[in-house]
A and B are shown apart, each in its own frame.
Chain A
Amino acid sequence: MVLLRQIRLLLLAELRQEVRSFEVVLTSAFFSVVMMALFALSLGALPVESQLMAVPGALWLSVAFVGSLTLTRVFDRERESDTLRALLVGPVNRMAIYFSKAAVALLVLLLAAAVLVPGLIVIFPGAAPMAERPLFTAAMVLLGCIGYVAVGTLFAAGLAAGSGKNVLLSLILHPLTTPVLMFNLVATRALLEAHPGADAYLGRLAAVDVVLVVLGAWLFEPVLVGGGGSGGDAARPARTGAGR
């Protein structure tokens, strides 16, 4: 109960901060429109049967790039005023920090998807099955975004807590999230091709999400503040760099 209360409080604080400027929501929505315009220019002339393969890629690549932008910006706020460190030393369960940040990133990503999916349906006639099965599409987008933010929140927080450059986030995030994005691609293609076993893909996506969320929550504290003992490489002056 305490954990849920802390998650709620932290989430409300995040949302209050976002509502003051709508910075992350607006930049993510605009970036989604830009991505759609680029995909429309590059793939818009494809015949409908080829669009069945192009649309899943366009959707999930856009989600991946918007997600990377969102996570960077969400944690930039913490970095600018060093508030993540304050949260970490405060009497707050670290999992509450993880889940509240993940929830904010998820909300922004879902809003971006709410721009992307209708846009892709308008641009690509091959994406029409997404409009015909809105519940399936919504569930698929939700599950896909959960998997993405489960991984992304952990590593964006890890970089924000240290002196890591944000450019490293893409380096870490994209190889790690590609398996979940591949599951999403297959589910989307199954939907577009009206595959009879399309529903089963949602179950598999949910199973992957459970693994990623549990792992992300479990690793959040060790990655941010380390395991047992004291010292560690963060405390040690580096003569020859972090690795050799």
Chain B
Amino acid sequence: MIRRFLPDGMLLAAALIFPYSVARIFLDTPIERTMGTAFKIFFFHVPMGWLTMLMAVICGVAAAIELRRRSTTASAVALAAAEIGFVCGLGVLLTGPIWGNATWGKPWTGDARQMSTALLWLVIAAYLLIRHYGPSGSRRLAAGLAIFGAVDVPIIYYAVKLWKTTHPTTEVVGSLPPALWAAFWPGLGAILLCTFGLMGLRIRQLVLAEQLDEAWVRVTDREATDGTDLS
């Protein structure tokens, strides 16, 4: 029962927390001296960046389980994670240049983390294209791609440390003043609840679609064997 309504409950909680977090971000935190209002992007950009990475890892792990056990649920988790990772990655790539324009004077600096996030997003997009438009048997191929994508995450993270970068270091989040932290956590919580709620609904929908497909195959098999029309 709890499992059935958990995604709906998470979405409801997100709907309640989100207006509160937006009010905290825009009304309770001061305007940053150099960046002005564009700094508020931080509260959405960072959680979406974290979620893109997290979804790439979830997609990779689920794909590995799918390859190992041929699990329908793992396959659904991988696809749902990739879809959410795609949306979050798009959010990061759209909000990042607005931040960049305010901080560095131009939206795209070719910075290592900008490039690597764009690359991770391309891998996720390639996974979705293969899953949606690939021929029969391409799920295994897509799963391999997702695993490589997940392995790319630490390589991408390492790339940031390896190359000189104009991007704020990961320590920026840790050095936030308490007032900004207080506004950051409710927003992160709302985005996480919304993400996992949507993911739960999508997984359930994909599993049901798979079961429907299997039922259809069983019916057509029986029709072919018995020569009866069960439709």
A: which residues have CB within 8 A of B? Answer: 151, 154-155, 158-159, 161-165, 168, 171-172, 175-176, 178-179, 182-183, 186, 204, 208, 211, 215, 219, 222-224, 226-229, 231-234, 236-244
Contact = CB atoms under 8 A, between A and B. Distances in A.
A233 to B, nearest CB: 5
Contacts of A175: 119, 122-123, 125-126
B112 to A, nearest CB: 8
B86 to A, nearest CB: 13
Contact residues on B (Cβ < 8 Å of other chain), bracket: 35 or more
B165 to A, nearest CB: 12
Contact of A236 (B116, B138, B217): B217
Q: Give the most central of A151, A162, A243: most B CB within 10 Å.
A: A243
A164 B138 contact: yes
Nearest to A232: B70
Contacts of B188: none
A165 to B, nearest CB: 7
Nearest to B141: A158
Nearest to B217: A237
A178 B125 CA distance: 14
A172 to B, nearest CB: 6
Interface in B119-173: 119, 122-123, 125-126, 128-145, 147-149, 151-152, 155-156, 159, 162-163
A223 B67 contact: yes
B209 A244 contact: yes
A151 B79 CA distance: 22
B163 to A, nearest CB: 7
Contact of A242 (B69, B131, B147, B220): B131
B206 interface: yes
Given A163-B135, A242-B138, A176 B152 contact: yes
A102 B134 CA distance: 24
A150 to B, nearest CB: 10
B115 interface: yes
A229 to B, nearest CB: 5
B81 to A, nearest CB: 13
Q: Give the most central of B67, B116, B136: most A CB within 10 Å.
A: B136
B68 interface: yes
B123 A164 contact: no
Given A179-B159, A211-B151, A172 B136 contact: no
Nearest to A226: B140
Nearest to A154: B144
Contacts of B135: 162-165, 242
B213 interface: yes
Contacts of A178: 119, 122
A241 B149 contact: no
B141 A233 contact: no
Nearest to B79: A243
A232 B144 contact: no
Interface in B49-92: 67-70, 79
B5 interface: no
B104 interface: no
Contact of B141 (A223, A239, A240): A223
Contact of B70 (A159, A171, A227): A227
Contacts of B131: 242-243
Contacts of B20: none
